[in-house]
Amino acid sequence: AALLPSMLMFGVILASSGLLLMIERGILAQVGPPPLHPPAGLSRRDGRDSTAELELEVLRDTRNRTIRALCGPRSMPRSVWELPPGQRRTVLRHLLVSDKYRFLYCYVPKVACSNWKRILKVLEGALESVDVRGKMDHKSDLVFLGDMKPEEISYRLKHYYKFIFVRNPMERLLSAYRNKFGEIKEYQQKYGVEIVRRYRKNGGNSAGDDVSFSEFLQYLLDEDVERMNEHWMPIYNLCQPCAVSYDFIGSYERLHADANHVLEHIQAPSFVRFPERQAWYKPVTAETLHYYLCNTPRRLIKELLPKYILDFSLFAYPLPNITSQFCRQ
């Protein structure tokens, strides 16, 4: 009873599949998951394709079955009210509310959440267009479920359409690393300086802008998941998919098609569309991720995977291939 639900769930996975043993032997790196990202063009806004629609249904069914299986044990939370107070605060703080369109969106940093917040502001009339440029204010003109009364929270959780967007866990971590320590001085000073001081000999003079990816992963390995910054906290801990029954799980890898599906479902006005990627934005490519992972101590990645194993398992992402053979390519 003293164990956190996240640890209980990890125990279920570990006992049922011997996942860490498979990681150690490099087995899962060679095994492909069910079709994860069907071809784009599934929404009526883009014109539907019957084959792609069928593949998408297979993916959704796979994720739903996985979530039901892993969230099935009686020890797992059935609602946000069964979560420990800290976990409940986290998920309620990440659930954004639209009473006008009757939906809840659990935002996940580094999974296009800024654009979704723009859409919410446009839908609520606080922003003229999703194309309005300028620094995103992540608090104003947004309604958070955690700011409501318990009876108001329960009603919306029961009756509103609920969705999240997910991303490959390692890709999300790399994106956070490159953005926060390569571009944001606040993060360099708040986290970078401490990381370098902690993990590098004679690192006391660092300004925090030269954190290596290995040092960042070592920091995550030593960090308590419940105390992590939201930009690298596991999606499971942010959005609690066992305690919140989501109606739709979109993915970053097929962002526009899945976003159009949601906009269509909530009956958003036709002029509201998901913003295009900015020209200056440099996405994490498969080659970039390959480079970083293969230049990181394999032991470090293997030890870190258990902290993010629920994100891999629940959302059908393959574990990273860090075998010597693959990294020699």
CA angle (68, 74, 78) in 5-degree steps: 65
pLDDT of residue 264: 96
pLDDT of residue 3: 42
Domain ranges of the chain: 80-168+235-266, 170-231+284-328
* CB neighbours of residue 297 within 10 Å: 12
The whole-number mean pLDDT for each consecutive block of 10 residues of the chain, a chain of 329 residues, reads 42 43 43 39 51 75 82 88 96 98 98 94 90 73 96 98 97 96 94 95 86 97 96 97 94 92 95 80 88 95 96 91 87
Task: Write down the H helix ranges in the chain.
Answer: 5-17, 19-24, 50-70, 85-94, 113-123, 150-159, 169-182, 185-187, 193-199, 213-222, 235-239, 255-265, 286-294, 298-314, 324-328
Distance CA 60, CA 232 (A): 25
Contacts of 245 (CB under 8 A, 6+ apart): 162
pLDDT of residue 293: 95
- Give pTM, 2 decimals: 0.83
